[in-house]
Amino acid sequence: MGADMDPELLELATKIFGFARQGDAASLATYLDAGVSADLRNEAGDTLLMLATYHGHRDAVAALLDRDADPTIANDKGQTPLAGAVFKGETEIVRLLLESGADPDQGTPSARDAALMFGKEDLLKLFSDY
C-alpha cells in the first residue's frame, strides 16, 4: 500500500485490514467474495491471514482459509501466520493453519522454533500429526 495509491483504494484496503485485525469474519467474507484477494498484503508484507491470526480471530482465519488464503506467505520479516499463532498460543488457529497446508518449518523463526523457544510441547506434538 504505497503513498502513490489512489486515496479511495487506500481507504478501502485500510478498512479490510481493520476487519482482519478486529476479527470481522462476515465483512471479510463479503469483500473476498466480491473479488478482494485473500492474500492482500499491507506495507509490512502482512497478509489478512497474518493479521487475523496474530490477533486471535479464529472465525476470521477460517473465513480467509475457506477463500483460499495462502497460509505459507511470510511477511517482510520472514514471519508466517503459523509462527504468529504459536507465539500467541492460539492452538485452534494452529490446527486450522496446519489443515490448510502451513509448514511448521517455514519462516524466521519457524513455528517449530517458536514452539521450542516458548516450551509449547503440545504444539510440537501437533506438528508431528501434519
Question: Is 34 domain-assigned?
Answer: yes
- Tell me whether residue 82 is in a domain: yes
The pTM for the full model equals 0.92
What's the pLDDT score for residue 2? 52
Q: Write out the DSSP string of 29-69.
A: HHHHHTT--TT-B-TTS-BHHHHHHHTT-HHHHHHHHHTT-
**Count of domains for the chain:** 1
Contact criterion met (CB below 8 Å) for 127 and 97: no
- Provide the domain limits for residue 47: 7-128
Confidence of residue 42 (pLDDT cuts 50, 70, 90): very high
Farthest-apart Cα atoms in the chain, separation: 47
- Quick check: is 1 in a domain? no
Cell 517482510 belongs to residue: 76
In a domain, 14, yes or no: yes
Report the C-alpha gap between 90 and 111 in whole angstroms.
12
In a domain, 110, yes or no: yes
CA geometry: angle 25, 27, 28, nearest 5 deg: 60
Q: What is the mean pLDDT of residues 76-80?
A: 96
Distance CA 111, CA 96 (A): 14
Residue 7 — pLDDT band, cuts 50, 70, 90?
confident
CATH number of the domain at 97, please: 1.25.40.20
77, part of any domain? yes
